[in-house]
Amino acid sequence: MNVYVRELGRALAARGVAIDIFTRRQSTDVADVVEYSPGARVIHIDAGPRRHVDKYDVLDYLPDFACGVQRFRALMGVSYDVIHSHYWLSGRLGLLFADHWGVPLVSTFHTLAQLKNRVAESAAEREQTVRYEIERRTMAGSDRVVALTAIDRQQIIRHYQTRSPIDVIPGGVDLDRFSPTPRAKARATLGLQPNQKAVLFVGRIQRLKGLAARRRRPAWHQSRSARNFAVATPRGAAWSRRSDELRRRGRPRAAAALLFRGRRDGHAVEL
């Protein structure tokens, strides 16, 4: 989501739209205002400790965050024509500011509590009711909801019964970073044979992503003459522990066929 918001801001700024992105300060060594691209700024607001905190703990700091945004707006003498909230926490304040400032609210959620809870296998994995309620109220109060796929739109309607207009706008692609590569070159980089069958997975290893479920499907085991690989590119320090867990839970033949590449630098993702 951070990449999405950053690149959306960069693209809109390149088209002449002045962009301010407000976020809670999580470090002591960042400036109050960072212009990361001409016309696009990140505004760091003090609200709670200057470190990462659990998303539900952030709820307690939303009043401080709201005051910080209002203070910045007043001191800088800026006004805004539209608010675009991302994620449920932002939606709660988006509704507040849209009402006070008299401007339209556009909302994008990226993930939804109802869908995460449908695949949760323990109480610890379940999202709290307060998140669902904020999502529902944000959708109801938005002038426009942006879904990233047609399936996302269907799920929003099915699980939240919102009557707000929903537009499907797929995420873009940075063509300077991601572009077609000859298959032979990509396979050689990954250590795969030219005709070797492969299943590619790119993302964090999370139960929500369904990687374990994919490995149990018949298509995974349909070839007896070639090994099948899942090439995972998770992020974070826990990737090796989670990959070991997937190996233990999988069938022996499938587990032996897994190739984990680990975290890849953004400029070194072989596709």
Is it the case that residue 2 has pLDDT exceeding 50?
Answer: yes
Question: How confident is the model at residue 227, as a pLDDT?
Answer: 46
Residue 108 confidence class, pLDDT cut points 50, 70, 90: very high
State how far the alpha carbon of 92 is from the alpha carbons of 26, 121, 256, in Å: 20, 28, 46
| Whole-structure pTM value | 0.78
Residue 234 confidence class, pLDDT cut points 50, 70, 90: very low
Is it the case that residue 236 has pLDDT exceeding 90?
Answer: no
Residue type, 121: E
Q: Is the separation of the CB atoms in 230 and 201 below 8 Å?
A: yes
Per residue in 184-213, pLDDT tens? 888 887 777 888 777 777 666 666 666 555
State how far the alpha carbon of 3 is from the alpha carbons of 9, 10, 128, 171, in Å: 10, 10, 26, 11
Report the DSSP pairing between strands 33-37 and 83-86. unpaired
Residues forming a β-bridge with 105:
83
Residue 218 confidence class, pLDDT cut points 50, 70, 90: very low
3-state secondary structure the chain: CHHHHHHHHHHHHHCCCCEEEEEECCCCCCCCEEEEECCEEEEEECCCCCCCCCHHHHHHHHHHHHHHHHHHHHHHCCCCCCEEEEHHHHHHHHHHHHHHHCCCEEEECCCCHHHHHHHCCCHHHCCCHHHHHHHHHHHHHCCEEEECCHHHHHHHHHHHCCCCCEEECCCCCCCCCCCCCCHHHHHHHHCCCCCCCCEECCCCCCHHHCHHHHHCCHHHHCCCCCCCCEEECCCCCCHHHHHHHHHHHCCHHHHHCCEECCCCCCCCCCC
Question: How confident is the model at residue 184, as a pLDDT?
Answer: 87
> Mean pLDDT, to the nearest integer, of 217-230?
47
> Mean pLDDT, to the nearest integer, of 39-45?
97
